[in-house]
Amino acid sequence: MTVIPTVLPCKRKPATETFYHDVVQGLSAPQKYLDPKYFYDATGDALFQQIMQCHEYYLTGCEMEILSTQSDQIAQALQKYAGTFDLIELGAGDATKSMHLLQTLLDNGVDYTYFPIDISANVIHQLEKSLPEKLPGLQLHGLNGEYFHMLQQANQHTSRKKVLLFMGANIGNFSITAARSFCQQLRQYLQPGDLLLTGFDLKKHPQVILNAYNDSRGITRAFNFNLLHRINRELQADFDTTKFAHFPTYDPGTGACKSYLISLEEQVVHIGDHLTVSFAENESLYMEISQKYSLEETDQLASFAGFKPVARFFDRKHWFTDCLWKCV
Q: What is the pLDDT of residue 17?
A: 92
Please report, as a single letter, which amino acid is at residue 129.
K
Give me Rg for the CA atoms of the chain. 20
CB hemisphere CA count around 146 (13 angstroms):
8
Q: What is the pLDDT of residue 93?
A: 82
Query: pLDDT tens, 93-131?
Result: 889 899 999 999 999 999 999 999 998 888 899 999 999
- The fold of 59-202+295-327 is Rossmann fold (3.40.50)
Please report, as a single letter, which amino acid is at residue 222.
A
Q: What is the pLDDT of residue 121?
A: 87
Q: How far apart are CA 146 and CA 317, in angstroms?
A: 34
User: Which contiguous run of DSSP H or E holds residue 220?
Assistant: helix 219-235
Burial 95-104 (b: 16+ CB within 10 A, else e): bebbbbbbbb
Q: How far apart are CA 66 and CA 313, in angstroms?
A: 7
Query: pLDDT tens, 11-52?
Result: 556 778 999 999 999 999 999 999 998 998 989 989 998 998
Q: What residue ranges do the domains of the chain occupy?
A: 22-53+219-291, 59-202+295-327
Determine contact, residues 88/117, Cβ cutoff 8 Å: yes
pLDDT under 70 in the chain at which residues? 1-13
Q: How far apart are CA 67 and CA 118, in angstroms?
A: 20
